[in-house]
Structure 1
Amino acid sequence: MDDRLAAINLSPFQLRNMLKTVVIIIDEHFDILYVNDAALAMLETGLKQIHDRKFYEFFLDDGIERSTFEIALRHQEDFSETEVQLCFKDGRSVLTDITASCFEIDGQRMMLLEIKQIDKQKKITQETLQHAQQEAARELVRGLAHEIKNPLGGIRGAAQLLEKELTDPEQKEFTQMIVDQSDRLCSLVDRLLGPNSLPQRKWINIHQVIEKVRSVIYADTLHNIEIERDYDPSIPDLYVDPDMLQQALLNIARNSMQALKSDNTESARIKLKTRIERQSVIKGKRYGLSALISIIDNGPGIPKELKDTVFYPMVTTKQNGSGLGLSIAQNLTNHHDGKIDVVSYPGHTEFTLYLPIKKRHE
């Protein structure tokens, strides 16, 4: 074994470029002195283009905390940070763990950055946890719905019987109010439970569904929000319920519209995008091909305190919102063995539906 190891003659430069971990060396002015191949891939640039560029030039102003690096370089203090969201100026965002090591050569202060992308591992862990939490929440809602609807039926029936005994029209108004409010609460409970019918599937071009959604939101925006399309025409027909899927996409799109309007976003924009992804993992199951439908807006982003609960029923930041739109969208997507993924930071919110692509003989 020792002889075989000795025969592997790799230079330190070759070894660094074989690493999947991003390695970057910067000086105290944030000038980039060295990058390995993994760093070039993450920054999506070439070796010639990296020279004479500052490290922070690749990121949005809130995409990297410059003061953390400045203090560490000034005091020559190493640090590590986990789950750091790096937001690039080209609209990309990656979740990373960062380790910074400070050193000095010939009186020049430098910092070695080791950046490890953890998006995929984090997503799988989050999806498993969120799926379990959402299933528990749904079971809780089902139990509460049963306990609420039974007495509501009794209250409604009693009000109707009482109304028959009354002769004064003014008193009948009160019994009718009881009936109306009982019906309203019953309707709210039904909406909390989500759709109770099975999907009526058929083979359809997914872009036909998206175009219907685009037409609806285009009419609703009163031309104040730009609607962009970026479709992949190679996506084959999907075996889906077009009405359910349209409702799911419409709920997400309306959520984006409301966020843009409430924030008074300048040059407000919603982008509808489709792509194909190979070897997607959806709820722990691997699919060879999946269709991705993304709804992207340039609004304020989802508040940090809501990111983990955004799909729960009754969770909303809107004054008059019911908080059911995204919850219903997720239930409808679950009926198609799919999932909804969300990436959000200021200026960019992207909801992506993952739908398995099945062959006709399946």
Structure 2
Amino acid sequence: METSLDNGNAAPPGAWRLVLDNLQTAILVIDAGQYISYLNQAAEVLLSASSRQLRGQPLAHVVPEPGLSALVTDTLARQQAVLRHDMSFVLSGGTVRRFDCWLTPFAWENGAGVAIEIAATGPLGDTQRESQLLAQQEANRLMLRGLAHEIKNPLGGLRGAAQLLERELADPALTEYTNIIIGEADRLKNLIDRMVSPELAPQNASVSVHEVLERVRALVDADLPPHISIECDYDPSLPDLWADREQLIQAFLNLVRNAVQAVDEADCRPGRVILRTRVRRRVTIAGRHHRLLIQVDVVDNGPGVPEQMRDQIFQPLITGRATGTGLGLSIAQSLISRHEGCITFHSLPGNTVFSALLPIAGEHR
């Protein structure tokens, strides 16, 4: 069917373009070579660039989501409209968001093309993800109760050995290292007790997420490979959280160590891990609407999460590394969920982002 945006019988020239520019849904028109022919104002806002900058650019460069280019190819070949739910896009500044995409093929005087409508993921997708996360979190708790005894025993031995070593050290300056071992052993024991004992409520207090992240960075720096750097991109305007400091330290320590190990094992040079904080507004988690949240992103330039692991990455004992335990992400998800938050991720080769969302106390409705 021949279609023109500007030459309809019932509308004056330019009217259809005016209509498209006033839609809230982002619209991209892609030609057969997968170059952007047109985008409306909502798409300009979404992509943080003007139509003049983006027209004529390859779709894959503007929206680096391999699945989208493949869908355009399939839509052109089949000449059938396609709907895909919950596609993850990396937007300006590295922000990751999920969208539903409708792809509709059409013909015009200059050839064939595809119209792509991009809309924020609806509540049905959110509900399905929340149900999966809740089921995973319950499995995590059951697994952690079974492992708690095995973890606490070596922690006691580790603490005792550090105390004995401290007595034998001739240089008092070296006791700083034994104090770190003893302090971390005590912190982990207390953390495990609170995790596996339902009657022990989190020890919530006013906590700066940046202070937590700096503590995590100091712990990871102690054995950071020389070819990997940890960079910070903090929003200094963020308010404090009402949270359990030790649980947050453990959750983010697991996320950061996971990122460092992924980069190190892939021998990415230079390796880079970024800790980024931003504010998020109006997000629903487990059926509860939050007006204001803190988002903490842990970004790495490693090879990415293998496709076959993505649906079960937060389940206990699931790991893609020969030396991994499969508990780090599982524990992190469980700890963040205790603060009414959740962890999501988006992964492409060279850009993997794990995002923890933490509601600010009182900011829900």
TM-score by length of 2: 0.73
Is contact 2:225-2:264 (8 Å) kept? Answer: no
* Residue 168 of structure 1: aligned partner: none
Instruction: Choose from 14, 18, 22 the match for 2:22.
Output: 18
* Residue 165 of structure 2: aligned partner: none
Q: Which amino acid aligns with 1:22?
A: A
* Residue 125 of structure 1: aligned partner: 127
Note if 1:245 corresponds to 2:248.
yes
Deviation at 1:210, TM superposition (A): 0.8
Please say which structure displays the higher CA radius of gyration. Answer: 1
* Residue 321 of structure 1: aligned partner: 324
* Residue 278 of structure 1: aligned partner: 281
My pick for the range that moved more, 211-220 or 333-342, is: 333-342
CA RMSD of aligned residues (A): 3.5
| Corresponding residue SS for 1:315 | coil
**CA 1:286–1:256 in 2, change beyond 3 Å: closer, same or farther?**
same
Instruction: Choose from 282, 294, 301 the match for 1:298.
Output: 301
* Residue 110 of structure 1: aligned partner: 112
Note if 1:34 corresponds to 2:30.
no
**CA 1:202–1:230 in 2, change beyond 3 Å: closer, same or farther?**
same
Alpha-carbon separation, structure 2, partners of 1:143 and 1:248 = 17
| Corresponding residue SS for 2:311 | coil
Is contact 1:333-1:339 (8 Å) kept? Answer: yes
Note if 1:53 corresponds to 2:57.
yes
**CA 1:56–1:90 in 2, change beyond 3 Å: closer, same or farther?**
farther
Is contact 1:192-1:324 (8 Å) kept? Answer: no
**CA 1:45–1:34 in 2, change beyond 3 Å: closer, same or farther?**
same
Deviation at 1:125, TM superposition (A): 2.7
Alpha-carbon separation, structure 1, partners of 2:351 and 2:102 = 23
Alpha-carbon separation, structure 2, partners of 1:203 and 1:90 = 29
Is contact 2:65-2:89 (8 Å) kept? Answer: no
Deviation at 1:70, TM superposition (A): 5.3
* Residue 168 of structure 2: aligned partner: none
Is contact 2:285-2:341 (8 Å) kept? Answer: yes
| Corresponding residue SS for 1:239 | strand
1:57-68 superposed matches below 5 A: 57-60=61-64, 62=66, 64-65=68-69
Q: Which amino acid aligns with 2:255?
A: I
Alpha-carbon separation, structure 2, partners of 1:298 and 1:220 = 19
* Residue 204 of structure 2: aligned partner: 201
**Residues 190-227 of structure 1: CA distance to partner in whole angstroms, max 9, x if unpaired?**
97995434322222222111101011112221332111
My pick for the range that moved more, 135-144 or 328-337, is: 135-144
Is contact 1:25-1:34 (8 Å) kept? Answer: yes
Deviation at 1:27, TM superposition (A): 3.3
- Percent sequence identity is 29
Is contact 2:27-2:39 (8 Å) kept? Answer: yes
My pick for the range that moved more, 90-99 or 334-343, is: 90-99
Note if 1:260 corresponds to 2:263.
yes
Is contact 2:60-2:66 (8 Å) kept? Answer: no
> Which runs of 5 or more structure 2 residues have no equivalent in the other structure?
1-11, 151-190
Alpha-carbon separation, structure 2, partners of 1:43 and 1:335 = 34
Instruction: Choose from 199, 212, 217 the match for 1:214.
Output: 217
* Residue 351 of structure 2: aligned partner: 348
Deviation at 1:143, TM superposition (A): 9.3
* Residue 269 of structure 1: aligned partner: 272
**Residues 109-158 of structure 1: CA distance to partner in whole angstroms, max 9, x if unpaired?**
13131222344546513432213422552576489789x99xxxxxxxxx
Which aligned runs of 4 or more in structure 1 are off by greater than 6 angstroms? Answer: 142-146, 190-193
**CA 1:49–1:264 in 2, change beyond 3 Å: closer, same or farther?**
same
**Residues 40-76 of structure 1: CA distance to partner in whole angstroms, max 9, x if unpaired?**
223321122234433343144846436x645765x68
Is contact 1:273-1:294 (8 Å) kept? Answer: yes
> Which runs of 5 or more structure 1 residues have no equivalent in the other structure?
1-8, 150-189
Alpha-carbon separation, structure 1, partners of 2:356 and 2:88 = 22
My pick for the range that moved more, 121-130 or 297-306, is: 121-130
**Residues 293-341 of structure 1: CA distance to partner in whole angstroms, max 9, x if unpaired?**
2211111111122212111111111112211111111222222222222
Instruction: Choose from 333, 340, 344 the match for 2:336.
Output: 333
Alpha-carbon separation, structure 1, partners of 2:254 and 2:283 = 24
Is contact 1:299-1:349 (8 Å) kept? Answer: yes
My pick for the range that moved more, 10-19 or 209-218, is: 10-19
Deviation at 1:265, TM superposition (A): 1.7
Alpha-carbon separation, structure 2, partners of 1:144 and 1:222 = 33
* Residue 165 of structure 1: aligned partner: none
- State the number of aligned residues: 309
Is contact 2:137-2:333 (8 Å) kept? Answer: no
Deviation at 1:95, TM superposition (A): 3.7
